[in-house]
Each structure stands twice: as C-alpha cells, then as structure tokens.
C-alpha cells in the first residue's frame, strides 16, 4: 500500500525534495498544499508555518517538548510527526480529528499555535493574487475552508516512508538489519511486549493507551477523556507510529523523555520513573527486566525503522 502511495503521480519525488519552487504549470492539490505547508501566510503575524513545528529534517516533528507558536507561545503537547498518516483513522494525541482534512485546519486556528481563524485564513488567501489564482484554477471558485484543508491533506498524504532496513528485512533481505536489530525485533514482538500497542504497518493500531503518564497531581493532561468524557479513557493517549522514531525526540505527549533509551528504560520499569500512575495499562504493571544488552538491541531495532532518505540527507 505504501509503495503504491509513493508511486502514484511521481509523489515519491515530493517526499524526497522538501524545497518548493512555485510554477503555474502543472498545478496540483499536492503542490499547492506543499507551498502552503511551508508558507507563514497561514499564521496570525506571518511568522510561522506548518513546517516551523513539523520540521522535515526531523521526520516532520519538532525538537522541542512543546513547539512555539506565534508570539513564542508554547503549545500544550509535543508535536507528533506529520509523516505516515495517510492510513490513520484518528489524529492528534487525543484523537479529536477523524481525517487529515480536519487535522490540517486545527493548528491554523489554535490560539497557541498559528492563531488565525479559518475564515480569516480563507480571506487572506483570496486576497493574495497568486493563491487566489491557483485555487480558482483547481476548483473554479474562490478559496474555501474545505479546499484549504483538502490541499494541505493532499500534501501530507505524500509523506509516507517505507524504504528502511526493517522493510527490506521483512521483504526477504536477511542482511538488511544488523544482528542487534534482528534481536531487537524479536524482543519487540516478544519479551518487551512493544507490539501489544505498536502493531501494524506503521506500528500503531489507532488505539489509545494509558501508559501511566497521568497522576492528577504533577501529570494532569487528561488526554482522550477530554474528547469522549468517558472516565475509562482518563490519561489515555493515541499510540504513535514508530516509523522514523529515532528522529522525533523528545518523546511522549509531554515530551518528557529526551532519548529513545529513556523511553525503553521507562517501559522496562515504569515505577522507577512514575509511581501511582492513574489507571495505567495492566500490561505495564510487571517490570520487563530487560538487560542492558537487550535494551541496546531494542534501540537498534527502533533505529532500523528510519527511512533511508534521512540517512542520506544527514550524512
């Protein structure tokens, strides 16, 4: 499925080339969405763009625990990667958006992010000659909110990755992953129990889990509960995908872990980090008792989920 998405219409080139030079022909929804993704025109004071927080070189995530919006306002949750979302059924840490079209518009209007009401964003685009012309050519109308969400989502759907050592390994290349990474994969689906939550093609099953990062005292983000108002979801957050995870530090919804090693150590023995996590998933109640060598192997496997494009670019 990923290979098909990357092959359609030459979109693989867009994944690999994050610079954008606007040309009138050919005009596509993907190209227009890409231009807007990198353009600060969609923020209140024209100082930040989507790419300000979703940095391409870090797998479209951020390096801060909480990204800074307009007027340097910190956000409330860690910025997740915008990659590998084409097949996701729920988006954001609390799952409040059910489509990329919905997700794409929320940061624009969010007061602590881009702080531009969608109606004003649409008006601004209609007042810009180049954008107004581009939208009219594609849609035969003036810019609408639905069209803005659609073109941004069209671009985001091209940000799929599948060229990793792991992908080559499961496709029959036994030498694609290091021996440590192969051992780590076995731990991932076995003793470490990672696959209990991180399953499927992108290592997320579109589920919500409470991993113990809510205690009602110092850790007070209620997560999914805020959306569904169901107490069984108090402290639950969406299980993030793990593709390119080695590039997307810091980790967790609050960015509290700075390295992959800290994440592994937490899962190995949660009580050594946070005691009395409310309603923590029962699978985390027993320490994993991973050795240092096993944690090294598990970390090696997680690095094997990094797409080759990032390895090439960062050499």
Q: Is 309 within 8 Å of 16 (Cβ atoms)?
A: yes
Q: Long-range pairs for 64-71 at CB < 8 Å and ≥24 separation?
A: 64/250, 64/255, 65/250, 65/254, 65/255, 65/256, 66/255, 67/113, 69/43, 69/110, 69/112, 69/113, 69/114, 69/115, 70/43, 70/44, 70/45, 70/113, 70/114, 70/115, 71/45, 71/115
Quote helix, strand, coil % in the chain, to nearest 5: 45, 5, 50
Which residues partner with 97 through β-bridges? 91
Omega of the bond prior to 26 within 30 degrees of 0, cis?
yes
Question: Is 53 within any annotated ligand binding site?
Answer: yes
Look at the block and give the residue holding tokens 């098909």: 4
Q: Is the dihedral of CA 243, 301, 56, 49 positive or negative?
A: positive
Beta strands in 97-243 (DSSP E): 208-209, 237-238
Q: CA angle at residue 244 from 238 to 247, to 5 degrees?
A: 100
Look at the block and give the residue holding tokens 């290091």: 178
Cα gap 13→87, rounded to integer Å: 20
Cα gap 109→118, rounded to integer Å: 6
Question: Is 236 within any annotated ligand binding site?
Answer: no
Query: Helix axis angle, 129-139 relative to 118-126, nearest 10°?
Result: 100
Residues of the binding site for heme c: 50, 53-54, 194, 197-198
Residues of the binding site: 50, 53-54, 194, 197-198
């Amino acid at each position: 499925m990923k290979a098909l998405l990357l092959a359609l219409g030459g979109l693989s080139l867009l994944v690999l080339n994050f610079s954008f030079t606007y040309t009138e022909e050919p005009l596509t929804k993907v190209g227009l969405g890409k231009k807007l993704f990198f353009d600060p025109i969609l923020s209140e004071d024209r100082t930040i763009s989507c790419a300000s927080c979703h940095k391409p070189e870090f797998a479209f995530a951020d390096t801060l625990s909480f990204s800074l919006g307009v007027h340097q306002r910190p956000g409330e949750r860690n910025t997740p990667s915008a990659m590998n979302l084409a097949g996701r059924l729920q988006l954001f840490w609390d799952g409040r958006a059910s489509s990329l079209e919905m997700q794409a518009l929320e940061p624009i209007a969010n007061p602590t992010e881009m702080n531009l009401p969608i109606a004003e964003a649409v008006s601004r685009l209609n007042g810009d000659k180049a954008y107004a012309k581009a939208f009219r050519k594609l849609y035969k109308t003036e810019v609408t909110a639905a069209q803005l969400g659609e073109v941004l989502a069209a671009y985001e759907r091209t940000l799929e990755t599948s060229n990793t050592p792991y992908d080559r390994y499961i496709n029959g290349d036994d030498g694609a992953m290091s021996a440590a990474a192969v051992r780590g994969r076995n731990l991932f689906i076995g003793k470490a129990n990672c696959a209990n939550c991180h399953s499927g093609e992108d290592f997320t099953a579109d589920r919500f889990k409470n991993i113990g990062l809510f205690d009602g005292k110092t850790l007070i983000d209620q997560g999914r509960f805020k959306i569904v108002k169901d107490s069984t979801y108090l402290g639950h957050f969406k299980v993030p995908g793990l593709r390119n995870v080695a590039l997307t530090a810091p980790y967790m919804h609050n960015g509290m872990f700075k390295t992959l090693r800290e994440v592994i150590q937490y899962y190995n023995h949660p009580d050594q980090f946070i005691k009395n996590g409310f309603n923590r998933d029962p699978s985390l109640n027993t320490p994993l008792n991973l050795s240092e060598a096993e944690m090294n192997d598990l970390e090696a496997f997680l690095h094997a989920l990094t797409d080759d494009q990032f390895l090439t670019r960062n050499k």
